[in-house]
Structure 1
Amino acid sequence: MNATGEALFRLSQGNVMRLKVDQLRQVVRHANSPKLSLRAVARLSGVSPNTVRALRDHLSSIGEDWESLRTLDDSAFEARLNYGQETSGRRRSIPNLAQVHDELRKRDITLSLLWEEFRNDDPESASYTQFTRQYRTWLKKQKISMRQIHKPGDKLFVDFCGRTIPIIDRETGEETKAHVFVGALGASGYLCATAVANQTVANWLHCHVIALENLGGVPRYVVPDNLKAAVLKNGRDSIQLNSAYQEFAEHYGFGILPARPRKPKDKSLAEIGVQIVQRWVLARLRSHKFFALDELNQQISYWMTQLNERITRTYPKSRLARFQELDVPALKSLPNDRYAFSLWRYQVRVESDYHIEHQGHRYSLPYQYTSLLVDIRATSENLIVSYRRRQIASHQLVIGPGITTLPEHQPAQHKHYQDCQPEALLAWAESIGPATLTYARRNLEERKDFANGMKAVIALRRDTRNEQLHERVESACAYALKLKILGYERLRSILRNGTDQHPEIPPQAPAMEHENLRGAAYYSVQAGDIA
């Protein structure tokens, strides 16, 4: 690392260490892209450009990048970065910003030139990054408006229309409201729109999928408003994005650049796009009756095509022509796989019995995480639980009430107790064979002394496992049942002596009947005569 980079690192390291780990991840992800400037990464991540510069230099010095860090859990992520202690630096002097602004009004004068001149007069003055940040902060306070210039393929502005469209149920006549999502590309002004049933996270992401597939590519940034499906918190010093939206952005490879609260100019193109769609498309549909979302979306698609192909007096080229000329070559390719929606729940407290509840069903976690806060991600098939971004449990998703407990999640004493319950004993006996199952069931269900019956089955299972008697148990149980034996001591004797394997003695044949054979009746008559 050169001397300048090292100084910047020492100056901004304290800011890096005070970042939340999720925000630090975003800085690393965006800083890893060589196409993004320091200021661009700073805006995307809600940190200072100095912090971004220091982190980029530090990643380079330790040989790490986003690909090597993205799969780590929070603790390993922080440890791999291996920051030292915060050091302080003296505050650098800056020029009179009003004079800087006046100088910039002159032809061919740039901030870079003014900084170099100021630096020549005071070599210990503010760096170029500090100089430009201070000037832009001052400029925002002057209420001076500046027209935004958007680069091709750079930004997609997204928002929902304020106006809704009624959908009528054919059978009941009940009316629901469809919400219309609008996306507008910054460079060409190309518009896309789709209707959904509500503004949930799932539908918000579904609208993005439709929009990106309509564009046939991915912009560098998406600029949403601060609805909860996108942004959980947009504070002065940090931005907390919805994790599902953040995961979606990582899948498609774009940056999320939320509009600042109460700053309508940040999302002016989205508001203009919404206004155009409402006036040019939705207004034309005001007298139509729609009975399904698909019907509404077919009409919206038709009129959006007309709108994008329309040539106005303001623009000699249509939005579609400008889109194909400017944005299409600059858009990134879509990923091979469509995003699979995940339903996220954050900071869920693990219950005292090391289970969590999701949609009426309860799932176990490793008992060490009892009472901690975890994040839940539910897909169409699985439920995945993470602690500080490290996966700690995975279950097959179950619809409906009930409980799923994995043995490896239980402490030893709980595992032993559950293993000795009647259901577990019968399941083991069934795995051996029908005679063993019958022996176990009769001990557990027919004996008046239930405790001794359960002990008999537990003892049988224990000895079977310890002495590897699996091949002998079924035959011995069948022999014991034949003799109506339920106690384990006698069954144990059969197992030891192999009684069930001895050949049976055939029963004696009945005596033959013959006229010379005298029976008991004959002798009883003879005795009577003598008397």
Structure 2
Amino acid sequence: MPAGLAHISISGTLPHGNQGDLMKTSIPVQRDIVRLIDKGLSSRAIGRQLSISHNTVELLRTRLAATGLTQADLSVLDNEAFAIRLGTARNPNPSGKIVPDWDVVREELSQRDMTLSLIWEEYRQANHEHLADCLCYSQFQKRYKAWLKTQRISMRQFHKPGDQLFVDFCGRTMPITNPETGEEKPAQVFVGVLGGSSYTFAYAVPSQKIADWIACHVKAFEFFGGVPQQVVPDNLKSAVIKHTPQEIITNAAYADCAEHYDVLVNPARSRKPKDKSLAEVGVQIVQRWVLAPLRKRTFFSVEELNVEIAKRVELLNNKVSKKYKQSRTQRFIELDLPALRPLPLHPYESEAWKYKVRVAEDYHVEYEGSFYSVPYQYRMHQVDLRATRTTLEVLLNRTRIASHALLATPGRRTLEDHMPILHLRQTEQDPDSLLEWAEGIGPNVLAWVRGNLQQRRDFANGVKSARNLRRWAREEQAHDRLDGACAFALKIGVLTFNRLKSIITNRSDQRLPVEPTAWVQKHGNLRGAEYYAQQGGISC
């Protein structure tokens, strides 16, 4: 049994009669009594002058004489020392009850499954020989709570202008009615409060999902016309994935939004309501002054609700406070607005995210029915997918490891750099791979490769010519010569690699055409090709 529960008391007897009156007399009055006694006034005269009983004065005179002290000796003492020297200090336990060590009680309560009722029972057991002097349970509970209040030190929160924006969702939702079916769905109401001025923003969204959470921040920054140094959210999943004393893991999309606005995300600690006191107060005020007056209205869209919320928020911010004699708007203009950092040139564009996607054995990830490759070293890893209107990025621990153009229709996109050597060699035998490579070089290269694959009777040799061209182009790094050379080869009907290579090497495609001999004059002594053709050739 804890020792602090047994016989820890400040015993004393209840003062009687004039002694009790003396104990109740304030120290300043006792000092006046001593001063007047020193001047030689009688007890009755002092009593009349100070409007107290002459018996009280007489009792204090007796105690002063017993101490042998003078008024000069007592005047230099503080109030506590003065009362102790005269023996007039108030008994902190006038009832004479046994009082436990409250520090021990608090320590016991911190243990698992302990209750104040159980500790009271142990306190009575520890003092079973003096049960009459023990506190009853109601007094035990009352005194402990009174002592506990003296141990708590509340620090007033001071917020620098433009420093913190406290954000949270209201506990109260607003119903949105479907005009066709009459079905109601709850709209979530976001609240943002600036620390310096308590300037308040409210905005309704369909849900608390990450896309709506980010949209609320974008609207809030636009409403305030600037960006604070930090945002203080609660620990909802759209903001914080993990929050421990050792680390804070912020939602990746939320972190990207914060990075775009160059604002620090500083989540409130769990079970520490004072960290986000302004958010809680702001939520309460918005629920009372904005949402409650709209409770009987029927809204058919979130946009319609936001129009009314904006009107009510404006009235709230313009309302003059009794405490500060200024409205939130006035304080915002004077304090927060000059300290806010400017908005970026473009607002943050919300992106679609897909979290903790497992990379398959074939080093591809699936997104909306299509499959995209990642470097094969990351197969079986968990990655995040970030999709914009045109691209898909694959991120591992917020580091991009792959990027693809989004496919318009379900399909498969594999980059050669993502493939292991064995798979790459096997893929290079595929005609589709040859056509894809040729298309990336130029239209004439594509036509030449397609001609080898489709027009030549010996298909195997056609594939071989196309492979040889690709291998030679990679080795020689002569991609800029291929398209023009292939155009020339197609013009003269060349589909073999060796002859195409000769064209590229000799630059046949870049030679000027031979000018016709227009200067030769025709006459009867000149015989041309037509003459010899009619003769059927020349015999030797």
Q: TM-score range by the shorter chain?
A: 0.5 to 0.7
Give the alignment of 1:389-428 within 5 angstroms.
Answer: 389-398=398-407, 401-425=410-434, 428=438
Which residue does 2:224 correspond to in 1?
A: 215
Which residue does 2:170 correspond to in 1?
A: 161
Provide Cα deviations, 1:314-368, integer angstroms capped at 9, x if missing partner: 4421111111122112222222222233444455433221212233322111223
Q: C-alpha separation between the residues in 2 aligned to 1:181 and 1:150?
A: 21
Q: Is the 8 A contact 1:473 1:495 kept in 2?
A: no
Q: Is the 8 A contact 2:232 2:266 kept in 1?
A: yes
Q: Aligned match of 1:281 in 282, 290, 294? A: 290
Q: C-alpha separation between the residues in 2 aligned to 1:416 and 1:442?
A: 25
Matched, 1:461 2:466: yes
Q: Is the 8 A contact 2:166 2:278 kept in 1?
A: yes
Which residue does 1:470 correspond to in 2?
A: 486
Shift of 1:415: 2.6
Q: C-alpha separation between the residues in 1 aligned to 2:486 and 2:189?
A: 66
Which residue does 1:376 correspond to in 2?
A: 385
User: Cα 1:440–1:477, aligned 2, differ >3 Å: closer, same or farther?
Assistant: farther
Q: C-alpha separation between the residues in 2 aligned to 1:436 and 1:220?
A: 59
Identity between Structure 1 and Structure 2 (%): 47
SS state at 1:163 partner: coil
Matched, 1:317 2:317: no
Q: C-alpha separation between the residues in 2 aligned to 1:199 and 1:494?
A: 63
Which residue does 1:264 correspond to in 2?
A: 273
Tell which structure's C-alpha radius of gyration is larger.
2
Shift of 1:307: 0.9
Q: Aligned match of 1:294 in 303, 321, 338? A: 303
Q: Aligned match of 1:195 in 204, 207, 221? A: 204
SS state at 2:342 partner: coil
User: Cα 1:241–1:298, aligned 2, differ >3 Å: closer, same or farther?
Assistant: same
Q: Is the 8 A contact 1:359 1:400 kept in 2?
A: no
* Paired amino acid for 2:254: Y
Q: Is the 8 A contact 1:161 1:181 kept in 2?
A: yes
Provide Cα deviations, 1:28-59, integer angstroms capped at 9, x if missing partner: xxxxxxxxxxxxxxxxxxxxxxxxxxxxxxxx
- Number of corresponding residues: 347
Shift of 1:495: 11
User: Cα 1:422–1:378, aligned 2, differ >3 Å: closer, same or farther?
Assistant: same
SS state at 2:293 partner: helix
Provide Cα deviations, 1:116-158, integer angstroms capped at 9, x if missing partner: xxxxxxxxxxxxxxxxxxxxxxx99954333322222222111
Q: Is the 8 A contact 2:385 2:393 kept in 1?
A: yes
Q: C-alpha separation between the residues in 2 aligned to 1:492 and 1:322?
A: 82
Q: Is the 8 A contact 1:464 1:473 kept in 2?
A: no
Which residue does 1:80 correspond to in 2?
A: none
Q: Is the 8 A contact 2:363 2:375 kept in 1?
A: yes
Q: C-alpha separation between the residues in 2 aligned to 1:140 and 1:370?
A: 58
Shift of 1:302: 0.9
User: Cα 1:406–1:188, aligned 2, differ >3 Å: closer, same or farther?
Assistant: same
SS state at 1:162 partner: coil
SS state at 2:258 partner: helix
Q: Is the 8 A contact 1:419 1:425 kept in 2?
A: yes
Which residue does 1:440 correspond to in 2?
A: 453
Q: C-alpha separation between the residues in 2 aligned to 1:390 and 1:151?
A: 34
SS state at 1:170 partner: coil
Matched, 1:330 2:339: yes
Q: Is the 8 A contact 2:214 2:257 kept in 1?
A: yes
User: Cα 1:222–1:437, aligned 2, differ >3 Å: closer, same or farther?
Assistant: closer
* Paired amino acid for 1:247: D
Provide Cα deviations, 1:484-521, integer angstroms capped at 9, x if missing partner: xxxx9xx999999xxxxxxxx99x99xxxxxxxxxxxx
* Paired amino acid for 2:466: R
Q: Is the 8 A contact 2:435 2:449 kept in 1?
A: no
Q: C-alpha separation between the residues in 2 aligned to 1:145 and 1:229?
A: 31
Q: Is the 8 A contact 2:489 2:500 kept in 1?
A: no
CA RMSD of aligned residues (A): 3.7
* Paired amino acid for 2:490: E
Q: Is the 8 A contact 1:476 1:495 kept in 2?
A: no
Q: Is the 8 A contact 2:486 2:500 kept in 1?
A: no
Shift of 1:474: 3.0
Q: Is the 8 A contact 1:432 1:474 kept in 2?
A: no
Shift of 1:470: 3.1
Q: C-alpha separation between the residues in 2 aligned to 1:150 and 1:495?
A: 75
SS state at 1:335 partner: coil
Q: Aligned match of 2:156 in 143, 147, 151? A: 147
Q: Aligned match of 1:248 in 250, 257, 275? A: 257
User: Cα 1:303–1:367, aligned 2, differ >3 Å: closer, same or farther?
Assistant: same
